[in-house]
């Protein structure tokens, strides 16, 4: 994924969607820093307050402040997440970014794209893996210590949808 992002164009900034997208963004950032001489900005974004399903969950989510040690105004941004499912997390992230500033471009990179489940007209610009799943399944991504992607039957229908 990092190579695909580098090939698009430099310079750019990486912003990971909390919690798991920030881990993917950090791994991509580390690879780019080791592979090129370019300095790449890295930040994180918590989209809890912009979620449209926040009131539907029984699970208490405590928002954390964004960690963007740079202005996003006029910058080319890569928004990074672990799994793209319905697209609602990405929509919330775009809403959050709009309140922070106006980047020149926003592109989306996801480690896993769940095909056929989108509720919004969004498509990633960079994808690690594409999985065909159905709504009764849940994609589990473990990023540390050893990366693993697993599909399980969904048991908890009250969990947040991505």
Pick the range with the lowest mean pLDDT from 26-30, 74-78, 153-157: 153-157
Pick the range with the lowest mean pLDDT from 58-67, 81-90, 148-157: 148-157
Q: CA angle, 76 as apex, 73 and 78 as ends, to 5°? A: 115
How many of the other CB atoms lie within 10 Å of CB of 144? 8
More confident residue, 11 or 60: 11
pLDDT reported for residue 18: 94
Per-residue 3-state assignment (H helix, E strand, C coil) for 4-24: HHHHHCCCCEEEEECCHHHHH
Name the class of domain 2-153.
alpha beta
Q: Are 43 and 67 in contact (CB under 8 A)?
A: yes
pLDDT tens digits along 9-50:
778 999 999 989 999 999 999 999 999 888 899 999 999 888
pLDDT reported for residue 158: 45
So where are the chain's domains? 2-153
Structure tokens at 132: 């065909």
pLDDT tens digits along 80-137:
999 999 999 999 999 999 999 999 999 999 999 998 889 999 999 999 999 888 888 8
pLDDT surpassing 70 at residue 147: no
């Amino acid at each position: 994924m990092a190579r695909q992002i580098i090939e698009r164009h430099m310079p750019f900034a990486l912003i990971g969607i909390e919690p798991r997208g920030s881990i993917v963004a950090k791994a991509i950032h580390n690879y780019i820093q080791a592979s090129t001489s370019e300095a790449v900005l890295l930040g994180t974004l918590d989209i809890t307050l912009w979620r449209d399903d926040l009131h539907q969950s029984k699970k208490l989510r405590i928002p954390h402040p964004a960690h963007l040690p740079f202005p996003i105004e006029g910058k080319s941004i890569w928004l990074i997440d672990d799994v793209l499912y319905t697209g609602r997390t990405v929509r919330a992230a775009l809403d959050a970014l709009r309140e922070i500033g106006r980047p020149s471009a926003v592109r989306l990179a996801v480690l896993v794209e769940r095909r056929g489940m989108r509720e919004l007209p969004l498509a990633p610009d960079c994808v690690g893996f594409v999985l065909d799943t159905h709504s009764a399944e849940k994609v589990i991504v473990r990023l540390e210590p050893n990366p693993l992607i697993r599909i399980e039957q969904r048991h908890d229908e009250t969990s947040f949808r991505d």
